[in-house]
Each structure stands twice: as C-alpha cells, then as structure tokens.
C-alpha cells in the first residue's frame, strides 16, 4: 500500500484547482477559504498544457512555480497532473495526424479537450517531454502528494496510427494471419485477410462489424493507453521522482479500460465518480463505484472527483443538497476511499463547464453549499483515525464476490446479439444493488483470482469465457463454493465463437443444464416463475441434465419448464438463472440465497429503514459508518462512540433523515436499530 493511502495523514480533502484561469486576487481568497474549510490537497495542472508549453518545446512554468509557492505557503499539498489529456491548439497545427479519427472517418480537432490519437508517435513524444519537464522541475517538491498522470484515459482513435499499432498488437497476439483468420472467423462474409496491411480498426462499414475484431480492438485500446501511461511514469521515475503515481478512472456507462490490468501499474488506484441519477438509487451508485474501486485497488483507494453541488441527468443539472454531498462523501470513505476530492475547487465563471458544481459556488462562500464544505472538512478531521489502515486483512469483510471483467462488458457490446437490451453494466449493477439493499457487504473479483474466501460468487451475464475462466469457476464450486451464474453466460469462447450442442456450452457440465433456445421477451413484457419471481427481457428453453429445478416458468410459452437450476457438487453448488429477474425479484433471490448460506447483513435491523451501515476496519479497530438515506428517524444502539459528535451510543444515538454517524465500535459490540 502506498504512502498516500497509508492514512497516517488522515483523509485527503480538496479537489481540482485551476488558478491559471483566475486573476491573482482570487488566489489570495482561495487560500483563505481553503484554510477555512480544512482543505489539505489540490490537484493542479490537469488542463494546463497550452499555458505550460505555449509553443512546441518552449516551457513557461513561472505561473506554476507561483501556484505551488502559494499552496506551499498555505500548507496545502498537491497532486501534479501531467496535462496530456488536452493538447494545445498549436499541436493540431504542427501534428494534424495526431488528432483522433472517429469510426466514420471524421478527424476531430482541438477546441474542446481529450483530442489526441493515442498511437500517434508525435503525441506520445510530446507527452513524454511534458511529463519529464514537470518531473524534473517539481518531482522532489515536499508538498507533492503524487502524480496524476493524464485525465480519464479514454479517447478512441480509428485513424492510420491506430491501424498500424493495432496490427502490431495483433501480430504479437496471433503470430500469423492464419491464426487470426481462424480466431476472427473470417470465412464469414469474405473477410479472410491475406495481408496484415488490410486489417483496420472497426471503422464505419456497410453493415455489422466482425465481433471478434471489435472485442480485440477494445483490448488493444486498453493496452495501448496503458503503454502511453507507462511511458509517462517512466519519465517521472527517470527524473528521480519517487512520489506515488495514479491516473483517474472514470466509471461511466461505457468502458475503455481493463481496470484490473491498469491497477497493477499504479501506486494507488483512483476514480472520478458522478451520480447517474438524482433519485435514491444514486446512493447505491456510490456504493457500487466504491466497492469496484476498492476491489481493483485491493484495498484503500482515492476518490479524485465528485460534484459538490450538482447531479447531471441528460439535459439538466439537479441540485445535490448538502446533506447528500456529506453522505456521499462518507459513503466513499466507508468503502475504502482515503480521500474526499472534488471537481472542482471554484465554479468557473466561463467556459464549457461554468455550470458545473464546485466547492466554492458562483455565489461565493456565503452559501449553504460552502457551509457544508466547511462542515465536511471538520468531519474528516474528526474521523481522521479511521484513515489509518489495519496492519493486515481487508478493510471490509465480504463473503460475496461479484466477478467483474472488462471482456465481459466488451463482448456484450458486440452487435446483433439475441437481445441487445441485455447490458453487462446493468447486470453487474443490478446484482450489486440487490446486495446493497440487503445491507450485505461484497467485493468484486477478477476472473481467475483467488476466490476461495467467498462463500458465494456471482457471475453476471458473461457471454464469452475462455478456458482458464471455465476451469477457475469449476474449481471454485468443487472446493465447496456457491456459484450463481446469470443468463447468457459462457455461451461462447473468448472470440465470441458459440459452443455448439446446447447453451451455455462452456458451462454446461458445471451447471448441469442444456439450453435449446434463447427466447427474448418483447420490451416491457414480464412473466412469473413458480416461486413468485417476475422475469423480463430474456428466457431460455432449458433442460435439466445433472441439475435440479429451483423454479420453473409459471406462465408464457415456457410454462412448466425449468427457469432456475441448481447442481450440487460435493459441498458446493452451481446455480443457473436462465431468465432476467426484475430488480424486486432479484433482491428477494439474493436475500434468500444469503440466508441459506449464512451470509448476514452488516446490521440486520437496519435493512429496510433507509439506514446504510458499512463496517470499515482501521488500525485501531472497527468503525460503523451510518448513513441515513431514509425518511424516518432511527435510533442506533450498541457499545461505541460517535466520532462526529463525541457521544456514546450505548443508550442509543438518534439519526434523523439525512444524518450520518461514524461509530468507533467497542470489541464485541452488538447493535440494534429501531425506527423512532
Ligand atoms: C470529469 C473530468 C473533469 C470534469 C468533470 C465534470 O470527468 O475529469 O475534468 O470535466 O468530469 O463532471
């Protein structure tokens, strides 16, 4: 675990700071307000390339020297970003070929941000140069908390540089064209390649693209961006800087990175997280992002960005009220974040994001939102001891693992599957949501990682599986684990080639079933199962081989046929759901399954009250984070002390709707929650 995340300095608090966009007098007020709020960390330089290198090879860092001196004097640390997410306008003029090309052939140019062709040699060289410059100049600065390389890697290029690099990647993967032709099944539609030069990224074409090519291109893009990241890190290290390095992942509705791979290249894993709804499900989204990131990181991690005051939903920004901002901030921390950092410090007066939220809103510090920022700063100081990491063991004890795999996402993104409404992200999220609602802690698991510690392992729809993953799942069940496999998992190999003879071919032996037909349902159509569950989107005509029936279709075309099957293997079980359970039924399924296997909620009484309870382990013991999202007051009682109020909880602590508590538990404490 890195120094940043070791926690001895408490939690990091602050956010993106862009003083180059403001006159000097504002900097003075910034320092005063940061001190008032207890800000200890900023992220600087993220989009500063054009001012830092106004002409090719000519650096002007006097302003950055001044920013750093200002922060230093105020006692505030900084992450220094390499500004490579946004090349300056001169870069387009000098290297037009280093601009990204969309699948339809449109070349995108500067004027926004994130305009770069990741494989363009000129872009890569310019990135190395600017990283080296910054590392040589600031790499030893005592206030440097770490390097924030780039920002949210994710611009996909389909141009000539990408094509050349993709071919090199494919040559390394397949060795010769006949192996590639076989893997890509190019006998179909006259796609057989006879020359490497003919292979292209999946560009705009007349009809459906080759699915194996699509998924390989996604794998290539992740590897290519990782190589670009590694090059910057190499420059930083070559300049002698030993500060911790991270790059901020984005957790959106698309995914361009294999985060498990990337996590291995970072000293500390960080993410940016923006709620995708202003409704109550936003709270589950915080938990989802946090559990994922803690799992990628293998422990503590950093929240680099969230929005202090707004929630963007398609075409409007709703207000994120102060209570919610505080609950969300503690929600990330409860699940392993060592920081509460925001985008951004001060709301812009102009520019494309001037209506984005900030710690200091347009109105200025005389605002309820800034009051809340000051309140949050004080709270983080009050709970500082929680940041100290335990000498060993996980931060959160979880008995359930959900398999997460970027390949699973990418393969379900290929065109023309039986029902394109099926989304990997939605399946993973729905499973996590059920566990969140049940108050049960869970981790995400990398395919083929050690999963023996999990009593239950969930595999949401993972259409394509390689041999090693199949063996891993089999070994898990044989060792006594309880595996739950979602519909349309293991139907194909890693190149999307369907296994013949009955679905899901790769897992038929393990699951003990044979599916004859996949029968999607029309949008909005539902059916019931014999156990009362409601299903949607997807059904399968399934025959039991060595499995037993758990529930059958109660109505519809498949009435009377098995819908959920379970095969016993020694002490373990493998369960297959051939249909998509609606969320309510999925919740019930998971609650029953957890009860059956003795997996209990963190605080059983809290379930259903709107009180989220997370137990985080720290160096000095266990802490209960109590985040009250509900509408009725609750009382929580047990032997402990609330760090935020200094009050004992022995005779009960009242939490009104929206309130939070962080309770240091006394060993052996038992807890009760009652509605008031
Ligand atoms: C992030 C990005 C920030 C800012 C923010 C707005 O994804 O890193 O620079 O644009 O979104 O929500």
Nearest residue by C-alpha to atom 5 in ligand 1:
343
Q: Quick one: which atom of ligand 1 is closest to the CA of 274?
A: 12
How is the chain split into domains, by residue range?
A: 1-9+269-386, 400-596, 604-675
- Taking the CA of residue 653 as centre, how many other CA atoms within 13 Å lie in the half-sphere pointing to its CB? 28
| Statement: residue 146 has pLDDT above 60 | yes
Q: Quick one: which atom of ligand 1 is closest to the CA of 307?
A: 12
Q: Residues 500-527: what's their mean pLDDT?
A: 98
In angstroms, what is the span from residue 356 Cα to ligand 1's centroid? 9
Nearest alpha-carbon partner for 247 in 592, 238, 236, 239: 236
Contact between 538 and 422 under an 8 Å Cβ cutoff? The reply is yes
Q: Quick one: which atom of ligand 1 is closest to the CA of 248?
A: 8
Tell me how far apart the alpha carbons of residues 612 and 533 are, in angstroms, rounded to a whole number.
Answer: 26
Contact between 118 and 232 under an 8 Å Cβ cutoff? The reply is no
Contact between 146 and 245 under an 8 Å Cβ cutoff? The reply is yes
Fold match between domain 400-596 and domain 604-675: no
Mutate to test the pocket of ligand 1, among 21, 81, 272, 275 (most ligand atoms within 8 A of CB): 272
Chain-centre distance for alpha carbon 190: 39
Q: How many residues does the chain have?
A: 676
Tell me how far apart the alpha carbons of residues 405 and 78 are, in angstroms, rounded to a whole number.
Answer: 33
Q: Residues 16-35: what's their mean pLDDT?
A: 97
Confidence of residue 508 (pLDDT cuts 50, 70, 90): very high
Task: Name the 3-class secondary structure at 197.
Answer: helix
Nearest residue by C-alpha to atom 1 in ligand 1:
272
pLDDT for 337: 98
Give DSSP secondary structure letters for 169-182: HHHHHHSSHHHHHH
pTM of the entire predicted model: 0.97
In angstroms, what is the span from residue 552 Cα to ligand 1's centroid? 47
Determine how β-strand 12-17 pairs with β-strand 339-342. Answer: parallel
- CATH class as words, domain 400-596: alpha beta
Nearest alpha-carbon partner for 209 in 408, 411, 416, 406: 416
A 10 A CB-CB count for 182 gives 15
pLDDT for 252: 73
Q: Work out the burial of residue 136: count CB atoms within 10 Å of its CB; fewer than 13 is exposed, 13-18 middle, 19 or more buried.
A: middle
CA dihedral 535, 537, 540, 546 (to 10 degrees): -50
Nearest alpha-carbon partner for 306 in 373, 216, 259: 373
Nearest residue by C-alpha to atom 4 in ligand 1:
343
In angstroms, what is the span from residue 272 Cα to ligand 1's centroid? 8
Mutate to test the pocket of ligand 1, among 47, 305, 308 (most ligand atoms within 8 A of CB): 305
Encoding tokens for residue 243? 């500060």
Contact between 275 and 332 under an 8 Å Cβ cutoff? The reply is no
Using CA atoms, how far residue 146 sits from 5, 25, 142, 378, in Å, is 11, 27, 10, 24
Query: Of these residues, 224, 235, 283, 305, which one is catalytic?
Result: 305
Could you identify the residue written with the tokens 């000539």?
A: 160
Confidence of residue 8 (pLDDT cuts 50, 70, 90): confident
Q: Quick one: which atom of ligand 1 is closest to the CA of 312?
A: 12
| Statement: residue 21 has pLDDT above 80 | yes
In angstroms, what is the span from residue 11 Cα to ligand 1's centroid? 22
In angstroms, what is the span from residue 343 Cα to ligand 1's centroid? 7
305 flagged as catalytic: yes
pLDDT for 368: 97
A 10 A CB-CB count for 646 gives 8
Could you identify the residue written with the tokens 């960390």?
A: 41
Using CA atoms, how far residue 310 sits from 313, 367, 605, in Å, is 10, 14, 32
Q: Work out the burial of residue 1: count CB atoms within 10 Å of its CB; fewer than 13 is exposed, 13-18 middle, 19 or more buried.
A: middle
In angstroms, what is the span from residue 287 Cα to ligand 1's centroid? 20
Tell me how far apart the alpha carbons of residues 670 and 370 are, in angstroms, rounded to a whole number.
Answer: 37
Confidence of residue 1 (pLDDT cuts 50, 70, 90): very low
Could you identify the residue written with the tokens 């009051």?
A: 371
Contact between 33 and 14 under an 8 Å Cβ cutoff? The reply is no
Nearest residue by C-alpha to atom 9 in ligand 1:
343
Tell me how far apart the alpha carbons of residues 104 and 211 are, in angstroms, rounded to a whole number.
Answer: 18
| Statement: residue 294 has pLDDT above 60 | yes
In angstroms, what is the span from residue 290 Cα to ligand 1's centroid? 18
Q: Quick one: which atom of ligand 1 is closest to the CA of 151?
A: 8
Tell me how far apart the alpha carbons of residues 400 and 638 are, in angstroms, rounded to a whole number.
Answer: 26
146-156 per-residue burial string, b: 16 or more CB within 10 A, e: under 16: bbbbbbbbbbb
pLDDT digits (tens, 9 = 90+) for 643-668: 999 999 999 999 999 999 999 999 99
| Statement: residue 673 has pLDDT above 90 | yes
Determine how β-strand 562-569 pairs with β-strand 572-577. Answer: antiparallel
Q: What are phi and psi of 317, to 5 degrees?
A: -110, 115
Query: Of these residues, 53, 152, 283, 659, which one is catalytic?
Result: 152
Q: Residues 522-526: what's their mean pLDDT?
A: 97
- Taking the CA of residue 569 as centre, how many other CA atoms within 13 Å lie in the half-sphere pointing to its CB? 22
Mutate to test the pocket of ligand 1, among 42, 82, 353, 358 (most ligand atoms within 8 A of CB): 353
Tell me how far apart the alpha carbons of residues 362 and 360 are, in angstroms, rounded to a whole number.
Answer: 7
In angstroms, what is the span from residue 44 Cα to ligand 1's centroid? 14
Q: Quick one: which atom of ligand 1 is closest to the CA of 46?
A: 9
pLDDT for 3: 53
Contact between 3 and 268 under an 8 Å Cβ cutoff? The reply is no
Q: Quick one: which atom of ligand 1 is closest to the CA of 250?
A: 7
| Statement: residue 6 has pLDDT above 90 | no
A 10 A CB-CB count for 335 gives 25
What sign for the dihedral angle of Cα 131, 136, 138, 144? positive
20 flagged as catalytic: no
Q: Residues 383-387: what's their mean pLDDT?
A: 98
pLDDT for 384: 98
pLDDT above 70: percentage of residues in the chain: 99
Contact between 110 and 43 under an 8 Å Cβ cutoff? The reply is no
Nearest residue by C-alpha to atom 10 in ligand 1:
353
Which CATH code is given to the segment(s) 604-675?
2.60.40.1180
Q: What residue ranges line ligand 1, CB within 6 angstroms? A: 151-152, 250, 272, 274, 305, 343, 353, 356
In angstroms, what is the span from residue 250 Cα to ligand 1's centroid? 9
Using CA atoms, how far residue 90 sits from 65, 162, 202, 551, in Å, is 23, 22, 29, 64
Mean pLDDT of all residues belonging to the chain = 97
Chain-centre distance for alpha carbon 306: 13
Task: Name the 3-class secondary structure at 312.
Answer: strand
Q: What kind and span of H or E run contains 138?
A: helix 121-138
Tell me how far apart the alpha carbons of residues 321 and 341 are, in angstroms, rounded to a whole number.
Answer: 17
Q: Residues 117-134: what's their mean pLDDT?
A: 98
In angstroms, what is the span from residue 650 Cα to ligand 1's centroid? 43
């Amino acid at each position: 675990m890195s120094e940043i995340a070791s926690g001895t300095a408490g939690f990091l608090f602050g956010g993106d700071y862009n003083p180059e966009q403001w006159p000097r007098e504002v900097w003075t007020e910034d320092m005063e307000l940061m001190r008032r709020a207890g800000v200890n960390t900023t992220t600087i330089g993220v989009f500063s390339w054009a001012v830092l290198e106004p002409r090719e090879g000519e650096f002007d860092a006097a302003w950055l020297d001044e920013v750093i001196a200002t922060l230093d004097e105020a006692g505030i640390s900084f992450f220094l970003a390499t500004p490579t997410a946004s090349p300056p306008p001169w870069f387009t003029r000098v290297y037009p070929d280093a601009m990204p090309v969309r699948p339809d052939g449109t070349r995108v140019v500067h004027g926004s941000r994130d305009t770069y062709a990741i494989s363009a040699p000129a872009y890569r060289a310019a990135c190395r140069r600017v990283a080296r410059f910054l590392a040589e100049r600031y790499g030893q600065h005592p206030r440097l908390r770490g390097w924030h390389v780039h920002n949210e890697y994710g611009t996909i290029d389909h141009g000539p540089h990408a094509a050349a690099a993709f071919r090199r990647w494919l040559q390394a993967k397949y060795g010769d064209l006949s192996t590639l032709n076989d893997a890509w099944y190019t006998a179909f539609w006259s796609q057989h390649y006879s020359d490497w030069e003919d292979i292209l990224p999946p560009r705009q074409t007349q009809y459906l693209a080759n699915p194996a090519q699509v998924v390989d291109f996604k794998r290539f893009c992740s590897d290519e961006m990782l190589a670009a990241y590694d090059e910057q890190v190499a420059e930083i290290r070559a300049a002698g800087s030993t500060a911790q390095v991270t790059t901020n992942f984005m957790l959106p509705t698309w995914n361009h990175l294999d985060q498990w791979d990337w996590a291995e290249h970072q000293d500390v894993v960080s993410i940016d997280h923006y709620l995708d709804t202003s409704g109550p499900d936003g709270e589950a989204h915080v938990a989802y992002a946090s559990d994922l990131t803690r799992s990628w990181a293998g422990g503590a991690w950093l929240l680099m960005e969230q929005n202090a005051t707004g929630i963007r939903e398609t075409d409007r920004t709703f207000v994120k009220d102060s209570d919610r901002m505080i609950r969300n901030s503690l929600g990330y921390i409860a699940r392993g974040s060592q920081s509460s950092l925001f985008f951004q410090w001060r709301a812009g007066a102009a520019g494309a994001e001037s209506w984005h939220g900030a710690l200091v809103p347009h109105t200025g510090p005389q605002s309820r939102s800034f009051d809340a920022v000051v309140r949050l700063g004080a709270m983080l100081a009050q709970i500082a001891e929680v940041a100290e990491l335990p000498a060993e063991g996980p931060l959160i004890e979880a008995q359930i693992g959900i398999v997460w795999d970027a390949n699973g996402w990418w393969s379900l993104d290929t065109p023309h599957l039986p029902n394109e409404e099926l989304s990997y992200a939605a399946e993973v999220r729905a499973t996590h949501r059920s566990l969140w609602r049940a108050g049960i802690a869970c981790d995400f698991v990398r395919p083929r990682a050690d999963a023996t510690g999990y009593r239950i392992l969930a595999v949401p729809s993972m259409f394509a599986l390689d041999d090693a993953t199949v063996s891993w799942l089999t070994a898990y069940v044989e060792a006594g684990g309880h595996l739950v496999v979602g519909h349309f998992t293991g139907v194909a190999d890693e190149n999307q080639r369907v296994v013949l003879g009955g679905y899901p071919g790769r897992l038929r032996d393990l699951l003990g079933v044979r599916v004859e037909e996949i029968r999607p349902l029309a949008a909005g159509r539902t059916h019931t199962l014999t156990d009362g569950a409601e299903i949607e989107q997807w059904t399968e005509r399934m025959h039991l081989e060595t499995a037993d029936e758990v529930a059958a279709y109660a109505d519809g075309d498949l009435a009377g046929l098995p819908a959920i099957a379970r095969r016993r293997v020694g002490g373990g079980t493998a369960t297959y759901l051939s249909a998509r359970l609606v969320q309510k039924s999925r919740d019930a399924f998971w609650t029953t399954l957890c009860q059956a296997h003795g997996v209990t909620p963190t605080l059983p009484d809290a379930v259903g009250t709107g009180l989220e309870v997370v137990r985080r382990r720290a160096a000095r013991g266990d802490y209960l984070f109590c985040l009250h999202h509900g509408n009725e007051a609750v009382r929580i009682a047990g032997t402990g002390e609330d760090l935020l109020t200094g009050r004992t909880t022995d005779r009960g602590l009242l939490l009104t709707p929206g309130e939070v508590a962080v309770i240091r538990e006394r060993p052996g404490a038992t807890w009760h929650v009652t509605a008031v």
